[in-house]
Amino acid sequence: MEEPVPVFSFRKHPNLPISRFLNGRLGVVQPTFARSWLVVAWRWTNGTGMSPSETEQARSYYRDRQQGSLYQGWVKETENWPAKWRQLRASVPNPPPPKVSPVTNGQIAYDPDTHQFSLNCAEDAFRTAVHTFDSRRNRFGASSTAFRSWLTAQDTVFSNCDGTRLFLPVTASADLPVVIQQDRDYQIAAALFYAAHYPEALLRFRAIASEKKSPWSAISNYLIARTLYRLGSMPEVKGEVSRILADLSLTGIHGMTWNLMERAGLHERDQNYFMELARLLSSPGQDNGFREELWNYTDIYDSIIGPADPNREYWYGPDNQPPDEQRFRSVPMTDWIHSFQSRDPAAHARTLAEWKRSRSIPWLLAALTHANGKEPDAPALIDAAGLIPRQSPAYLTATWHRIRLNAERGRAAESRGELDALLNSPELRDLPSELNLFLSLRMVAAADFPEFLHFALRNPVLVVYSDNLGELPDQKAADSLRAAWTPHASLDRDATTLLNFSTPFDLLEQAARSAGFPTVLQQEIALTAFVRGLMLNRDLTRTANALEAATPDLKPAIAEWGAAATPAEKRFMAALLLLRRPEARPYLKPGISRLSKPGILDTYRDNWWCPMDIVQPLQRRQEEFRRLLIRTTPQPDFLETGTAALEIALIEKEGNAPEFLGRIVLSWAKDHPEDTRVAEALHRVVVATHLGCADIATPEISRSAFQLLHRRFPKSEWARRTPYWYSEYSIRQSLPK
């Protein structure tokens, strides 16, 4: 069964919408981000940044990456360029826009000989037309002769997209501005290309490429190679490609040129290609080549690292054959990404050494991410992180780790003022994922337990199903999730870890009596405290009052418990109360605790509790799979972790719910054969052994409860509703003779 999972901080991608990250507002960069995001992070943190054209190309990359997935639509900032062009074109009624065939959509060419369709005018053609439209209209005016001349010619260019026959724009007159004349030369060459008049197009692209002052000179170099490719002249394609790649002034088209080489079969995806892509992606001026460079780079990276990828959801460490480290060391950006993401302990020493050598911001961030507060180099890293200015794209990442390291050094209290200011500052505005990360630090820095509880509460940034490993919004899932669960402030894993394993009963009872929690969470905490108190044999009076206040429908059951005459009877009535509430556990679950309503059995066996000695290892294993940035959660002194550890040891000895509650019921039933309440309790014990967590002793509890119920209350409704008892491997019908 796929379970709903609240996401408190994104691990696979930055905050949505993605434009903030692409524009340099990086937030807290995590090693679990997809590598394409780390390419962007490298560029911003090393000072390269992203040009508007590169940002546009990156948006296109993320949009195209999600095509065909179940989670389409999460990148909502990209343009449908053909539609955008038609919208712009319609804004100019004179000359009127040409009609677009519904069959070809103004992009697809039809071959009457083969009766086949093929994409002729790709998205980039319309994107270029949109930008040129805006540029020429802004420069010359919408009603100018220059702009209208350009627009008419562009209409003619796109009339060739269906490939039926050639339509050539009229040659520009000498009295038009020079840039319009240069545009016209390119428009004529493009029209010839789309109409499949390749030899004529080739001559014109060569002429434009040689005219260095033309805005179309660089791209025409690429189009020479592309035209030769369509002509099938592979030796000439190879020569043109070599010329382009050797010309540093044409860096902006290198990425698309490499891609053309691959399509033409002129090279394989070898190490040299991988290194060249990394060099290009880490350099400015990629412009229209950025999307294809990023696509091919991440594909090759994935194939090289294979199953040893540390960013896999389930990573099995040493069992995987590690990739050749040298394949990632050749280019600084790839070296940084590989070291930043690595789970190998040696990566810590590497990132630290590279930072000491280079004193660069990207390597500082990598060293901070791998560091812990107890190591000798922590003070130097903390000091260096403190020098990152607020306007730096690296500021939030460096600040988060600086405060984390100080907390691990026992200096969390020193960060309270800074954290309070930051939580209310513009730096975290519209960054809900980062807000929750800093709330986790503020929780650890709390001065006392009530303050700890206040900062433990966080709002999920997204709720997904557990199979949604990419943490992507999915409208269909969102609708069903809303029907099953109303989002509210909840507890993330770091908070539940501390509350479950470092918080003694007295403080947990205090939390049960605290105000300010959402109703559902208040009920869960109160019930958890009640279970723990029973397992520790503590006085439950105040806990019961808190449980009644949080869960009014339990008032009759708590009144019965309160009316019990002896401690043993109170213990029996408490067990019966918990048997009626299958949501009861001695521990808290992060996020969505349970989907089934209170008092209702969950058909997927999410009922009562398993032994505490397996809950903690399971939780740690889940945290390892999730690869949280919070590698260790500092423990505030007021939590009294020593006392909590002793209590956990006692709770562990009591085992799972069916056994613990079953022993209480059977003991009371043995000594009180006249108590008719026992019939219901025995029935519920058998149910718990079936739909709760089972252990080696659980079948005996099931059998004993079943036999006693049918021997002592054979004609009761509870006996009728209990036809079976449950062993570990089978259902046994065992009615007494």
- Per-residue pLDDT tens for 501-541? 999 999 999 999 988 888 889 999 999 999 999 999 999 99
Q: DSSP of 186-197, one letter per residue? A: HHHHHHHHHTT-
Q: Which two tokens stand for residue 507?
A: 């403080």
Q: Which two tokens stand for residue 394?
A: 């690296």
- pLDDT per residue over 343-384, tens digit each? 888 899 999 999 999 999 999 999 999 999 999 999 999 999
Q: Which two tokens stand for residue 144?
A: 């100018």
Q: CA 254 to CA 224: how far, in whole Å?
A: 14
Q: CA 288 to CA 276: how far, in whole Å?
A: 16
Q: CA 659 to CA 643: how far, in whole Å?
A: 25
Report the pLDDT value the prediction gives residue 734, as an integer from 0 to 100: 42
CB 54 within 8 A of CB 286: yes
Average pLDDT over residues 385-389: 97
Residues 6+ apart with CB under 8 A from 319: none
Q: CA 209 to CA 215: how far, in whole Å?
A: 10
Burial (Cβ within 10 Å: 0-12, 13-18, ≥19) of residue 519: exposed
| Domain ranges across the chain | 4-73+314-481, 81-304, 488-654, 657-732
Identity of the residue numbered 212 = K
Residues 6+ apart with CB under 8 A from 241: 225, 257, 260, 261, 266
DSSP character for 161? T
Average pLDDT over residues 6-11: 89
Angle of the 123-140 helix axis to the 145-158 helix axis, nearest 10 = 170
* Region for residue 232 given its phi and psi (left: phi exceeds 0; alpha: psi -120 to 50; beta: otherwise): left
Average pLDDT over residues 642-669: 94
Q: Which range, 39-53, 260-274, 639-653, 722-736, has the best average confidence (pLDDT)? A: 39-53
Separation in Å, CA 632 to CA 315, 374, 444, 500: 19, 11, 11, 15
Sole residue written with tokens 């600040």: 399
Is the pLDDT score of 736 beyond 50?
no
Sole residue written with tokens 């949109």: 130
Report the pLDDT value the prediction gives residue 323, as an integer from 0 to 100: 79
Q: At 318, is the pLDDT very low, low, confident or very high (cuts 50, 70, 90)?
A: low
Among 245-259, 575-589, 622-636, the range scoring the smallest mean pLDDT is 622-636
- pLDDT per residue over 227-238, tens digit each? 999 898 888 998
Report the pLDDT value the prediction gives residue 306, as an integer from 0 to 100: 85
Q: CA 252 to CA 259: how far, in whole Å?
A: 13
Nearest in space to 4 (alpha carbons), one of 599, 457, 478: 478
Task: Count Cβ atoms below 10 Å from residue 90 Cβ, excluding itself.
Answer: 10
- pLDDT per residue over 419-429, tens digit each? 999 999 999 98
What string of H, E and C letters represents the secondary structure of 462-484?
EEEECCCCCCCCCHHHHHHHHHH
Report the pLDDT value the prediction gives residue 317, as an integer from 0 to 100: 56
Return phi, psi of residue 266, to 5°. -90, -10
Among 141-150, 439-448, 460-469, the range scoring the smallest mean pLDDT is 460-469
Q: At 648, is the pLDDT very low, low, confident or very high (cuts 50, 70, 90)?
A: very high
User: What mean pLDDT is reported for the chain?
Assistant: 88
Sole residue written with tokens 């007159």: 173
Burial (Cβ within 10 Å: 0-12, 13-18, ≥19) of residue 294: buried
Q: CA 716 to CA 14: how far, in whole Å?
A: 60
Angle of the 395-408 helix axis to the 361-370 helix axis, nearest 10 = 30
Is the pLDDT score of 621 beyond 80?
no
Is the pLDDT score of 482 beyond 80?
no
Counting residues of the chain whose pLDDT is more than 70, the rounded percentage is 90
Is the CA virtual torsion 164, 169, 171, 177 positive or negative?
negative
Q: Which two tokens stand for residue 512?
A: 């049960």
Q: Which two tokens stand for residue 703?
A: 């059998």
Average pLDDT over residues 267-277: 84
Segment 560-567 long-range contacts (CB within 8 Å, at least 24 positions apart): none
Nearest in space to 456 (alpha carbons), one of 425, 499, 417: 499
CB 216 within 8 A of CB 186: yes
Task: Count Cβ atoms below 10 Å from residue 346 Cβ, excluding itself.
Answer: 10
Counting residues of the chain whose pLDDT is more than 90, the rounded percentage is 63
Q: CA 448 to CA 165: how far, in whole Å?
A: 79
Q: CA 38 to CA 96: how far, in whole Å?
A: 46
Q: CA 397 to CA 737: how far, in whole Å?
A: 71
Collapsing DSSP states into helix, strand and coil, what is residue 74? coil
Report the pLDDT value the prediction gives residue 81, as an integer from 0 to 100: 87
Nearest in space to 617 (alpha carbons), one of 497, 733, 482: 497
Nearest in space to 71 (alpha carbons), one of 135, 12, 145, 144: 12
Pairing of strands 116-119, 108-111: antiparallel
Nearest in space to 224 (alpha carbons), one of 213, 272, 215, 242: 242
Is the pLDDT score of 78 beyond 90?
no
